[in-house]
Amino acid sequence: MSVHLRREIERLKVQVLALSATVEEAVWLAVRAVQEHDPALARAVLAGDRAIDEREVRVEEECLKILALHQPVASDLRFLVTVLKINNDLERIGDLAVNIAERAIHLAPHEEATTTFDFVGMATRAQEMLHTALDALVNVDPARARDVCAMDDEVDAINRGMYGQVQAGIREHPLQVDFYLQQLSISRQLERIADHATNIAEDVIYMSEGKVVRHHVEEFSAPERGATPEPPTAG
Q: Tens-digit pLDDT profile for the chain (235 aa)?
A: 688 899 999 999 999 999 999 999 999 999 999 988 899 999 999 999 999 999 999 999 999 999 999 998 888 999 999 999 999 999 999 999 999 999 999 998 876 555 578 898 899 999 999 999 999 998 999 999 999 988 999 999 999 999 888 888 888 888 889 999 999 999 999 999 999 999 999 999 988 887 777 766 565 445 444 444 444 443 3
Decide: 93 and 23 in contact? Cβ < 8 Å.
Answer: yes
Report how far apart, in Å, the C-alpha atoms of 129 and of each of 178, 181, 183, 201, 214 are.
30, 26, 22, 9, 16
Decide: 193 and 122 in contact? Cβ < 8 Å.
Answer: no
**pTM beyond 0.85, yes or no:** yes
Q: Is 38 left (phi over 0), alpha (psi -120 to 50) or beta?
A: beta
Q: Is 210 left (phi over 0), alpha (psi -120 to 50) or beta?
A: left
